[in-house]
Amino acid sequence: MKQKQHLNLIFPQYQGGGDDTSTYFGGIEIKNNYFSNTEFKEIAISLDKTLETKYDILGYDLIVQQLEEANKVLNKEKPSTIFTIGGGCDADIIPIAYLHKNITCDFTILWFDAHGDINSPVESNSKLFYGMPIRFLLENHNEIINKILDTYLGKNQIMLIGNRDLDMAEIDYINKNKIASISIKEIEQDNDIIIHKLKTQNCNNVYIHIDLDVLDPKSFPYIPVPSKNGLKTELFGDILDKIKENFTIVGIGLFEYMESHKKELEIIKKIVEMGKGL
């Protein structure tokens, strides 16, 4: 039997959100505070804020360069499980695509996020890549980026959780393609709803994408783009525990963290311990 190989990946790519480096330094803070005695691979991120728009994507050249580097690391390390620290949400397309292509097609992406992250480059008003990652996992919108990913997920493999701040084009795309979506209200009414829906789909393996803006900013303020009426940290922690109890987690991505200048935060510690223990 092949021995399980786990990889902790520090990939604080921030250019998907423009020239705001807050998620870069947030990722570095997580590395410094929670990975002092843990092995990891780190992707070098340029801090050059001179970002040009190409192919309707701001910062395109640097983003492509960094995505390629992350892809090389994964193909060299050949992990069977991955815990990724961002950076912006767009960095997660590399580990998700790698696992989908190389490990198993039998997994569902639980995309915890206040935003849709499902715009195409043409539809995007901001041209910010962190608003596009799911769309790139589903479809070809740039030959070079999709050559790096080298795989597409099925639309039934995405479950949006906690989104409440979407563009009209995203709403139309989600409805047209019948992409599963679970609201904060539904979770608060039944905190087992995610488990029930996954079991209905006969899902065994999951990948957990965590944009911390899924949390209510009153409960967790260390996010660059907060959205009110999110999940309370305690409820979110309980949900993570239930997912772990019921399914095999093949990967976790932790994104959109802004420096807190605190040595430890309970919910971050919980996510990091879960991710490192895959």
Number of structural domains the chain divides into: 1
pLDDT value at position 105?
A: 65
Do the domain assignments include residue 127?
yes
Q: Is 97 in contact with 22 (CB distance < 8 Å)?
A: no
pLDDT band at residue 4 using 50, 70 and 90 as cut-offs: confident
The answer to whether 52 touches 61, Cβ cutoff 8 Å, is: yes
pLDDT reported for residue 1: 39
The single residue listed with the structure tokens 């971050």 is 268
Range of the domain at 185: 6-276
Report the length, in residues, of the chain.
278
pLDDT at 3: 66
**57 near 63, Cβ under 8 Å?**
yes
Per-position DSSP letters for 34-67, written without gaps between them: H-TTS--EE----------EETTEETHHHHHHHH
- pLDDT tens sequence across 67-100: 999 999 999 999 999 999 999 999 999 999 999 9
40 within some domain: yes
Domain containing residue 141: CATH number: 3.40.800.10
Antiparallel, parallel or unpaired: β 41-42 and 53-54: unpaired
Does 158 reside within a domain? yes
| Per-residue pLDDT tens over the stretch 219-250 | 999 999 999 999 999 999 999 999 999 999 99
Reported as a pLDDT band with limits 50, 70 and 90, residue 2 is: low
In a domain, 1, yes or no: no
Residue pLDDT, tens place only, 38-66 = 999 999 999 998 999 999 999 999 999 99
